[in-house]
Structure 1
Amino acid sequence: MSTTIRTTCPYCGVGCGVIAARPDEAGDWVVTGDPDHPANFGKLCVKGSTLMETVGLDGRLLHPEMDGRRVGWDSALDRVAEQFSATIAEHGPDSVAFYVSGQLLTEDYYVANKLMKGFIGSGNIDTNSRLCMSSTVAGHVRAFGSDTVPGCYEDIEQADLVVLVGSNAAWCHPVVFQRLLAAKTRRPELCIVVIDPRRTATAECADLHLAIRPGSDAVLFNGLAAHLKGEEAEVECGVPLEQIVTFFSWFAETEKTVTLWSQGINQSTSGTDKVDSIINCHLITGRIGRPGMGPFSLTGQPNAMGGREVGGLANMLAAHMGFDEASVDRVGRFWTAPRMATRPGLKAVDLFRAVSEGRIKALWIMATNPAVSLPEADLVRAAMAACPFVVVSDCEADTDTARLAHLRLPALAWGEKDGTVTNSERRISRQRPFLPAPGEARGDWWIISQVASRMGFGEAFAYAGPGEIFREHCRLTGFENQGSRDLDLSGLEDTDYATLAPIQWPVRQPGRGTARMFADGRFYHADRKARRVEVTPRPPAALANPEFPLILNTGRTRDQWHTMTRTGRSPRLAAHAPEPSLAIHPADAARFGLADNALARVSGRRASAVLRVALDAGQRPGEVFAPIHWTDRTASGAVVGSLIDAAVDPVSGQPELKHAPVRVEPFTAAWHGVLLSREAVELPRDIYWSKAAGQSHSIWRLAGAQGQDWPRIGRDWLGDSGEWIEFLDPNRGHYRAARLVDGRLEGVLFIFRWATDFSPDWVAAAFGRAAILGEERATLVAGAPPGGDRGSDKTVCACFQVGLSAIRAAIHDHGLTSPAEIGAMLKAGTNCGSCVPEIRAILAGESAKERAA
């Protein structure tokens, strides 16, 4: 009998609906987009499409581990409760902290917040969402009196002008971006403006791209506000005046305008001001709360919004209440809390500083990897290493953070968890389990509740399941509300949790959600009016200087997510960008002696990283870009968080992750190589290496400054058992080796004296075969397969594994001139559409070559 489960994707804040189905009990699960979910209507990006490639149990944390040894749940939970209770008794409630995550479900978040703020009595619970959207929260509260996203995704489709600011939505929120492009196809008069220092994939699709100077967003929007009020304003933000005039004119003349923003605005020491400078322009024109218009923050994580709802931020209480006296009293009475926190706790950066200073002595980290993701990641690691007691709840056994834990607790992963999430448009959706809980893994809500019970608070945490937690959360949102707070889920209190359908809050009556807020002109300040916040633009905390002459911008790549604990398992997702990279303008590359595809050492004040150079004319000169995803588990030295100083917005506490002064220099290598192995390989950190997933193996790219004894090193890395085939050419500096066991390929190593375009694809295919026989074995170390074509190619479309050469051949052989034609022939770009901007660029490049010829 077939089984179908409706759930949601665990990646970005778009909140796409997913269907997991299998034909019978013996069949494999297949994931597709849910055509009935109003966030995506069946579409999925490449990350969502490959979810089933990421649910294997290799590398999973399946049992509690204390000080490196397996223990039972009772021992583990007792240890957490005893350690936290003893620390609180000796040093007070502010000596402990939770650091949680937008990967948690709302029910998990709720229980963690309740324990810390209502029963331990401290505000010291903060979330990795502090790193991605807390400036928007602060901006909303200042402008509206509440953390309210005014609009919905339909507004993007109904607008006549869509402005994207600091948002590479084509890569980071691809399904929403495809909804925008589809609207533009239907209505070509819809204008798209992209404001971003980089010429991203999103900017490739824009009618107007303003490549402003980094950090000058508030200058631009202050100028726009003055223009809208009929005032004169001098606007200097690094782009030609005629572009600014065009943008101001379009905005002033277009009533149906939606402004979207994301991390390029939020991750700044003046992020809150930038948010309010955008909102001001919508308040001045009254473009808020009506169809096709409004300011709209695109949330980074799948449940950052849910965390905001239940008080996951250190400066908020549950149900969108703050730390004012009335709210503290209200929440305390509702919970019957014995020790209610009365003031905000420490925000993420300050929280880990308190750990380093010894003020926080017991720390519990849930579903996140701060040893990689936080700024000054090197200092965060040192702080955790010195902390007397660190607990990590995670589904992964080996992360950079988990290696610093005294106690590891196995949590459920996507596909196993049961609860709710809230997306960027305030839409609550169910995440339902369809896979069994592996090993002894448990839900985060259960783990937290068990610890709370052992600390003496069992009656308040005696939940039978997440449905009970959700109903309590709903009751709290409606408790003494009477329309005074934006978040009200009282209409969901009696809903059947098992069948809860996607719905946008507030839900004050059963089954009746709310698409748009503020249509009546009433806000949540005491006088029910909005506030236009006076914004004085400020420069970033640190500027380029002679020692660090370049500005580093950081962010996501197209096919990866956060620190790759999930997406790093998928070979398809690794294909597009398998190595940590540094995008740099060709003029800057020439200035600092860097070549395309060579390696560069990037240095900040305290640390350095080695990254693969990618020349990119879309970069502004003087600026470089590096992705955030690589860790010490996936590269020898590519944790870009270590390059960034922990300067924060004084209002939101959000760190400035988009503007770090650095210097670059060539990483001179005496050799380069590629290693493929079925088994894990421990490589030294005094060479360059990066690791990516293959179908049944892993792939390491290598380089080093010193020569090696390759016959010895090869056996150290690949193992010495089985049949060994090797080739050594000392004069050319070539070494190639393969190890087989019972005819099956176990590992190969290729070493060259210089960097090449060598692709491991042709030999990677051999790992899928049961045995390599006869003369075929010699081809493993020949440097090329039979026929000589090594298959070197770049993956453009990860959904359908379409490479650059296939697209170029189709263009030339069939005279294709549009992404739609390429999609019709090759399927590239027809699923999530994330690669469509790249396909457009390929078409433009090939057209330019033809004209030049």
Structure 2
Amino acid sequence: MSNVARNPVALDATYAATPGDVTRTTCPYCGVGCGVLVKKTADAVSVEGDPDHPANFGRLCSKGLALVDTLGRDNRLLYPLIKDERVSWDRATDVIADKFRSIIAEHGPDAVAFYVSGQILTEDYYVANKLMKGFIGSANIDTNSRLCMASSVTGHKRAFGADSVPGCYEDLELADLIVLTGSNLAWCHPVLYQRILAAKEKRPGLKIVVIDPRKTATCEFADLHLAIAPDSDVALFQGLLNYLDKRGGRNDIFIRNHTNGADTALNAAKTHTLGCVADETELHEGDIIAFYELFLSTRKTVTVYSQGVNQAADGSDRVNAIINCHLLTGRIGEPGMGPFSVTGQPNAMGGREVGGLANQLASHMELGDPVHRDLVQRFWTAPRMAEKPGLKAVDLFEAIHAGKVKAVWIMATNPVASMPNADRVREALKKCELVVVSDVNANTDTAACADILLPSASWGEKNGTVTNSERRISRQRRFLKAPGEARDDWRQFCDVAVKMGWGEAFSYEAAADIFREYASLCAFENDGARDLNLSALKDIDAQGYDALAPVQWPVSENIVKGKARLFADGRFFTQNGKASFIVPAASPDKQTTPDFPFVLNTGRIRDHWHTMTRTGRSARLSQHFAEPFIEISPRDAERLRIKDADIVRVSSLYGLALTRALVTDRQRDGSVFAPMHWTEEFSSKGRIDALVAAVTDPLSGQPALKSGAARIERFDAAWHGFGVLATRDFSGAVMPAGADYWAKARIEGGLRAELASAMDYKNIRFAADAFFEPVLERHATEAQVIQYCDRRRGVHRFAVFIGDRLKGAFFMAKTPVEISRSWACELLGRSFAPQERVAVLAGRPGDDAPDRGAIVCTCMNVGANEIAGAVAKGCTSLAKIGAATGAGTNCGSCRGEIKRLLPETADAQT
């Protein structure tokens, strides 16, 4: 299996670091925390998986393999800006410090806030938390991790007394039953999913159950898929708790010695009979019994959960309903068993550890505990400690909108695209007295709202640590020089702290100094009552920090090599040392109404990441999905007169989006799914989170991003367009006027774009020339435009050449344009003889030319037509398809899609 990026990426000479040995670092994407080997020369960098890293053992997903595509200066923010005017760092930090100081003096410390990110490093997080909570004196620091795992934090703390993840990745390979609930692991954590499939191949008796309203890629190799009704998770697990009790599944010794509240929880679950659960979940009783019997009879059971559990108005209760079932059976803390939260961001866990959430203190201490506050204040020698929880993300931006918070510093995140009711977030920032944005990219939706923009160092340009979903601390190491005047995020906070008069407390010279202080705080007066202990690392020097190997906390004098599992001894971090059963509250009200009858589920796709500030730079990562889309069931589509590939208007009380329709029986009736990645940099109206109500879990403050309410209508387009264009200025390429819908994506040498409009162009050539403008403007005298027109069918096609090179093609039709996209993208920049140019206007290759079709395997760049060709030649299994084409042989996240292309009778083993 190849885990090496296909081509090393050349770097600007001013950007490349000095050549040296291979750098071991960590992937900056999801919470799996994969190890990465970076190999560089004087002018190029390549990436492959680290075979020695215990999270991935050399595997990388499509995003990890494409990391080299995201390096470079394209769209980089290079210098500090105040109101679009370049200034020095000294001037920028002076203005920030002065404004913060004056606002605090007039309105108090709660009038300022930080909003940070699970994509910054633990050292960045620590400094931000220390500055806000210990020196400014407010807890108004929250993080975009609030959007992905805050309910899991609440569930852990209620059950275990601390935010402790009990298990490790090895448990997935040791389990006999894996329950995946609210987790499309195949796409969102593909390396973990491949570890599971590899274990199942070795031990076919390993059972996989997937609980998800959608039939996702994760379901393709499941033994049982429970397509539950949205928001019925608690009912399903309450029913399981009741079933286990009735069928002798209790571990009475464990319950008696190590838990509290079992009788109360079981009494509350009695009403969840099979019939009740079937009514709430809309599942057949037989399928429910099959799941319950598997859980009952399988001691080594791991329940993996992610955003489908957390991102709900009852997310905390969902977490505890799962944990309750493991406590009842005593399946926790031992190999191959336990509840397991997998996080979405590379350092969501690190942020939790150092107090990145508004209701926490550093080192897993509690803001509401006066003993903890005193301990941290003494350790920091802090002048004024925050005494109450700060504003959680949704409430924070509402307070900005109301004028209560008058200055906000946003770092490494894009809330104008990612927050629920995102248009109101934009309104809030436009009204705010001071908005500071630290970012790598200059053109994010949030950067457009900034008064001050600060250039941050990116992955590969900074040193620090991250913690993955199994509590494993790994190093991110610098292997590139930061371009322009970009600075580490922690350094930016320190610069402002110095200007505000706290220089002594923020006099760090390197990330190692910060980590050493953080580890010392974890050890400070820690008598074993706190779960997070890094005392073995509190005296680490610069050399030791640089060489730090991946390690799972706790790491203490007694556990120098770390600890894979917690709670094997039955001791928890509650006051009496026993875990707590939690009774879920009543189910929250449905958001749907007669006017907005569809449940809107938002989430991720395989090859893109968050708001595409990183993956949007990669041409290969846009091959699988190049535009925003919405999944809708065939029955709903027929009822609404929506055909596959139509443009769809999605609306709610809060906003409107235009997306491409993907009609699929993988979607249940009455529900739709749309990815959250597209922003105004990549699409006209693709910001799907702008449609979601700011409804939150009352305990965790996590938004219910999986169950919005929406109306779906066909958008009556007068024309559709598709084009490819050679340009170096992706962000500056403007789509033709009048295009209601457009979405653009990078391809090799330029961009591709999909367009549609309700306005019928009177001058079709004008629309084409508008699309070609970047080329025509530079080459006005040498450009040659050829065209084809079929007015009866409403088909128009154009191509522009400079010399013999194709520099652009534009296709228009009354219906969605029917051409081979992958073929058209590969034509850009090719040489054509005069007699060959008309072939471009055909919209598809000739019989003698290859057409790989829609890309299925991003890692190996294999299309659907190539797979179909291999099937036609007798490749009727995944293994044979892989041997013939390479598809599915790397990260494997496309194997489910390949399986669907095989004949029904084919052997589709992993």
Q: Could you state the TM-score of these two structures normalised by the residue count of structure 1? A: 0.97
> Which secondary structure state, in structure 2, belongs to the residue aligned with residue 662 of structure 1?
strand
Partner residue of 1:242 out of 275, 280, 286? 286
Any conservation in 2 of the 1:647–1:656 contact (CA below 8 Å)?
yes
| Deviation per residue, 1:111-157 (Å, 9 max, x gap) | 00000000000000000000000000000000000000000000110
Rounded Cα–Cα distance in structure 1 between residues aligned with 2:575 and 2:461: 43
Rounded Cα–Cα distance in structure 2 between residues aligned with 1:362 and 1:272: 31
Rounded Cα–Cα distance in structure 1 between residues aligned with 2:529 and 2:522: 11
Please tell me the residue identity of whatever aligns with 1:378: D
Aligned pairs for 1:501-516 (under 5 A) are 501-509=549-557, 511-516=560-565
Provide the residue aligned with 2:686 in structure 1: 638
Rounded Cα–Cα distance in structure 1 between residues aligned with 2:58 and 2:632: 37
Q: Does 1:30 align with 2:46?
A: yes
Provide the residue aligned with 1:690 in structure 2: 743
Any conservation in 1 of the 2:531–2:554 contact (CA below 8 Å)?
yes
Provide the residue aligned with 1:842 in structure 2: 901
Q: Structure 1: state its 5+ residue gaps.
A: 849-853
Any conservation in 2 of the 1:637–1:685 contact (CA below 8 Å)?
no
Provide the residue aligned with 2:890 in structure 1: 831
Deviation at residue 686 of structure 1 after TM alignment: 4.9
Rounded Cα–Cα distance in structure 2 between residues aligned with 1:198 and 1:787: 38
Q: Does 1:95 align with 2:111?
A: yes
Rounded Cα–Cα distance in structure 2 between residues aligned with 1:276 and 1:597: 41
Rounded Cα–Cα distance in structure 2 between residues aligned with 1:670 and 1:385: 35
Rounded Cα–Cα distance in structure 2 between residues aligned with 1:606 and 1:492: 49
Deviation at residue 419 of structure 1 after TM alignment: 0.3
Rounded Cα–Cα distance in structure 2 between residues aligned with 1:691 and 1:712: 19
> Which secondary structure state, in structure 2, belongs to the residue aligned with residue 149 of structure 1?
coil
Moved over 6 A (4+): none
Provide the residue aligned with 2:757 in structure 1: 704
Provide the residue aligned with 2:317 in structure 1: 273
Provide the residue aligned with 1:173 in structure 2: 189
Which stretch shifts more, 11-20 or 712-721? 712-721
Please tell me the residue identity of whatever aligns with 1:579: E
Rounded Cα–Cα distance in structure 2 between residues aligned with 1:784 and 1:214: 42
Any conservation in 2 of the 1:216–1:537 contact (CA below 8 Å)?
no
Q: Does 1:286 align with 2:348?
A: no
Partner residue of 2:526 out of 481, 486, 492? 481
Q: Does 1:427 align with 2:450?
A: no
Provide the residue aligned with 2:28 in structure 1: 10
Aligned pairs for 1:278-677 (under 5 A) are 278-323=322-367, 324-495=369-540, 496-509=544-557, 511-539=560-588, 541-677=589-725
Rounded Cα–Cα distance in structure 2 between residues aligned with 1:506 and 1:239: 42
Rate the CA distance shift 1:265–1:685 in 2: closer, same or farther, 3 A. farther
Any conservation in 2 of the 1:793–1:803 contact (CA below 8 Å)?
yes
> Which secondary structure state, in structure 2, belongs to the residue aligned with residue 477 of structure 1?
helix
> Which secondary structure state, in structure 1, belongs to the residue aligned with residue 153 of structure 2?
helix
Rate the CA distance shift 1:519–1:21 in 2: closer, same or farther, 3 A. same
Aligned pairs for 1:127-138 (under 5 A) are 127-138=143-154
Deviation at residue 792 of structure 1 after TM alignment: 7.0
Please tell me the residue identity of whatever aligns with 1:694: I
Please tell me the residue identity of whatever aligns with 2:353: E
Which stretch shifts more, 192-201 or 740-749? 740-749
Deviation at residue 490 of structure 1 after TM alignment: 0.9
Please tell me the residue identity of whatever aligns with 1:83: K
| Deviation per residue, 1:12-38 (Å, 9 max, x gap) | 00000000013x434x21100000000
Please tell me the residue identity of whatever aligns with 2:85: R
> Which secondary structure state, in structure 1, belongs to the residue aligned with residue 355 of structure 2?
coil
Please tell me the residue identity of whatever aligns with 2:42: E
Partner residue of 2:864 out of 776, 795, 804? 804
Provide the residue aligned with 1:716 in structure 2: 770
Partner residue of 1:208 out of 215, 220, 224? 224
Please tell me the residue identity of whatever aligns with 1:465: A
Rounded Cα–Cα distance in structure 1 between residues aligned with 2:355 and 2:60: 30
Any conservation in 2 of the 1:725–1:781 contact (CA below 8 Å)?
no
Any conservation in 2 of the 1:593–1:666 contact (CA below 8 Å)?
yes
Rate the CA distance shift 1:403–1:845 in 2: closer, same or farther, 3 A. farther
Please tell me the residue identity of whatever aligns with 2:662: A
Rounded Cα–Cα distance in structure 2 between residues aligned with 1:763 and 1:596: 21
| Deviation per residue, 1:74-101 (Å, 9 max, x gap) | 1111111111111111111000000000
Rounded Cα–Cα distance in structure 1 between residues aligned with 2:818 and 2:843: 12
Provide the residue aligned with 1:851 in structure 2: none
Deviation at residue 373 of structure 1 after TM alignment: 0.3
> Which secondary structure state, in structure 1, belongs to the residue aligned with residue 363 of structure 2?
coil
Aligned pairs for 1:750-765 (under 5 A) are 750-765=811-826
Partner residue of 2:173 out of 157, 174, 177? 157
Rounded Cα–Cα distance in structure 2 between residues aligned with 1:685 and 1:428: 51
Please tell me the residue identity of whatever aligns with 1:687: D
> Which secondary structure state, in structure 2, belongs to the residue aligned with residue 824 of structure 1?
helix
Please tell me the residue identity of whatever aligns with 1:838: E
> Which secondary structure state, in structure 2, belongs to the residue aligned with residue 775 of structure 1?
helix
* Sequence identity percentage: 53
Any conservation in 2 of the 1:586–1:616 contact (CA below 8 Å)?
yes
Provide the residue aligned with 1:252 in structure 2: 296
Any conservation in 2 of the 1:571–1:693 contact (CA below 8 Å)?
yes
Deviation at residue 57 of structure 1 after TM alignment: 1.1
> Which secondary structure state, in structure 2, belongs to the residue aligned with residue 481 of structure 1?
coil
Provide the residue aligned with 1:78 in structure 2: 94
Any conservation in 2 of the 1:80–1:451 contact (CA below 8 Å)?
yes
Rounded Cα–Cα distance in structure 2 between residues aligned with 1:775 and 1:844: 41
Any conservation in 2 of the 1:219–1:537 contact (CA below 8 Å)?
no
| Deviation per residue, 1:400-422 (Å, 9 max, x gap) | 00000011000011111210000
Deviation at residue 776 of structure 1 after TM alignment: 3.6
Provide the residue aligned with 1:184 in structure 2: 200
Provide the residue aligned with 1:749 in structure 2: 810
| Deviation per residue, 1:390-449 (Å, 9 max, x gap) | 000000010000000011000011111210000000000000011111111010011110
Any conservation in 1 of the 2:652–2:711 contact (CA below 8 Å)?
yes
Please tell me the residue identity of whatever aligns with 2:437: V
Rounded Cα–Cα distance in structure 1 between residues aligned with 2:869 and 2:772: 38
> Which secondary structure state, in structure 2, belongs to the residue aligned with residue 327 of structure 1?
helix
Please tell me the residue identity of whatever aligns with 2:420: P
Rate the CA distance shift 1:812–1:782 in 2: closer, same or farther, 3 A. closer
Deviation at residue 767 of structure 1 after TM alignment: 2.8
Rate the CA distance shift 1:846–1:739 in 2: closer, same or farther, 3 A. farther
Rounded Cα–Cα distance in structure 2 between residues aligned with 1:470 and 1:772: 58
Deviation at residue 662 of structure 1 after TM alignment: 0.8
> Which secondary structure state, in structure 1, belongs to the residue aligned with residue 100 of structure 2?
helix
Deviation at residue 352 of structure 1 after TM alignment: 0.2
Deviation at residue 777 of structure 1 after TM alignment: 3.8
Q: Structure 2: state its 5+ residue gaps.
A: 1-18, 248-269
Rounded Cα–Cα distance in structure 2 between residues aligned with 1:691 and 1:845: 36
Q: Does 1:794 align with 2:854?
A: yes
Which stretch shifts more, 470-479 or 700-709? 700-709
Any conservation in 1 of the 2:852–2:865 contact (CA below 8 Å)?
no
Deviation at residue 846 of structure 1 after TM alignment: 7.9
Any conservation in 2 of the 1:412–1:443 contact (CA below 8 Å)?
yes
Rounded Cα–Cα distance in structure 2 between residues aligned with 1:397 and 1:512: 42
Rounded Cα–Cα distance in structure 2 between residues aligned with 1:631 and 1:110: 30
Deviation at residue 782 of structure 1 after TM alignment: 4.8
Deviation at residue 618 of structure 1 after TM alignment: 1.5
Rate the CA distance shift 1:762–1:806 in 2: closer, same or farther, 3 A. closer
Partner residue of 1:19 out of 37, 40, 43? 37
Provide the residue aligned with 2:260 in structure 1: none
